Copies of this chain bind each other. A is one copy, B any other.
Amino acid sequence: MIARRTTIKDVAEAAGVGVATVSRVLSGGSASAETRERVLDAATRLDYRPSALGRNLRQQRAGGIALLVPDITDTFYARLADGVLSCARSYREPVTIGVTGDDPEQEADLVGALLEQGIDRVIAVPSGDVETWSPALKAGLSVVFADRRIWDAGRLIDEIPAVIADDRAGVRTAVEYLLGLGHRRIAFLARHGQSQRVASFREAMGEHLDEELVAHARASRDSAYATAAGLLQRRTDLTAVLAGGNVLGEATVSAARELDLRIPRDLSLIMFDDVPWAELCSPPLTVIAQPAQDLGYRAAELTLRQGRRPRTIQLPTELIIRGSCGPRRPGSSGH
């Protein structure tokens, strides 16, 4: 026979008080020292664990927060998730994770599911745009974005709190580094939706910008590879690539190998996001490190901490120079 869970009523009885008193004591309300002691003692003796079920229904909201990421197998998002988890842990809040596959429709679906669950706080790396997120906001969801923000017809939505990396500085530093090495035909390999980074790239490249060297891939590994390979084959004159994320970087390395391009001799490469294998790659990859874990941690703080929340938090990036960039070889106009 399975013992029925101990409820607040049992504790009240055991302590010889009313249920309200137990509730108050346990949630830090006021009570006389003696009553408090009796209640606490009874609770301990009976090994009482308040049921979140009852509380949730009463409060009309489930505890905990949700995290929506495009892909949990991408190290970057995994580290971001780790940050969220680690912060949520200290608040003792459970975290429900959903994977959107970078698809606005799935994202909207998941938001719907959250609402149904009564979860009303969500941290998201958004894939959709205003159309996806306005309804969520209207439904009373408290949203914090991480890593990305959303746009409405070209206008940045900055009313929703967000924690993002300083893309602009990251891109600028990387581009300046490459320009300093003599590169001019520099490509940017972006994921669809990285409009911020693309814009920063255009800005940083200035007069050297060649619009044809800005390539867009979908979020999948396959699309990343196809796009990288296509770019490298189509434009044999390019001498450097800036990859907008670790999957794109990986794809570039693979494609370069396949085409027998040597890094950094034939091609310089800078990748967004520092991942463990960047050091193991040969040559070790020069990267723009992003504070992935911190992005998540801070977003969770914003979500969980009461009171005033700043609009947008921007965290610094850092160019880590390893071995994947070399000077443009004089006399060579490409690979």
Contact = CB atoms under 8 A, between A and B. Distances in A.
Interface of A: 2, 49-54, 56-57, 60-64, 71-73, 75, 78-79, 81-82, 85-86, 89, 92, 94-99, 112-119, 140, 221, 250, 253-254, 275-277, 279-282
B92 A81 contact: no
How many chain copies does the complex carry? 2
18 contacts: A49-B116, A52-B116, A52-B117, A53-B57, A54-B57, A63-B117, A64-B117, A71-B82, A72-B72, A72-B78, A72-B81, A73-B79, A81-B97, A85-B99, A92-B113, A94-B119, A276-B277, A281-B282
Contact of A85 (B49, B79, B92, B97): B97
A160 B182 CA distance: 62
Contact of A116 (B50, B73, B82, B112): B50
Contacts of A78: 72-73, 75, 78
Contacts of A95: 96-98
B72 A94 contact: no
A124 B12 CA distance: 35
Contacts of A119: 94
A43 to B, nearest CB: 13
Most chain B beta-carbon neighbours within 10 Å: one of A63, A73, A92: A73
Contact of A53 (B62, B113, B140, B253): B62
A60 B2 CA distance: 14
Most chain B beta-carbon neighbours within 10 Å: one of A53, A96, A254: A53
A96 to B, nearest CB: 5
A282 B262 CA distance: 13
Q: Which 4 A-B pairs have the closest CB atoms?
A: A277-B277, A282-B282, A53-B118, A57-B57
A11 B253 CA distance: 57
B140 A2 contact: yes
A73 B75 contact: yes
Contact of A96 (B64, B73, B113, B279): B64
Contacts of A89: 99
Nearest to A115: B49
Contacts of A116: 49-52
Contacts of A54: 57
Nearest to A112: B49
A31 to B, nearest CB: 22
B97 A97 contact: yes
Nearest to A83: B73
Contacts of A52: 62, 116-118
A113 B113 CA distance: 22
Given A51-B116, A78-B78, 20 more contacts: A2-B140, A52-B62, A53-B56, A53-B62, A56-B57, A64-B96, A64-B117, A72-B78, A72-B85, A73-B79, A73-B82, A82-B99, A89-B99, A94-B98, A95-B96, A95-B97, A221-B276, A254-B280, A275-B277, A282-B282
A72 B82 contact: yes
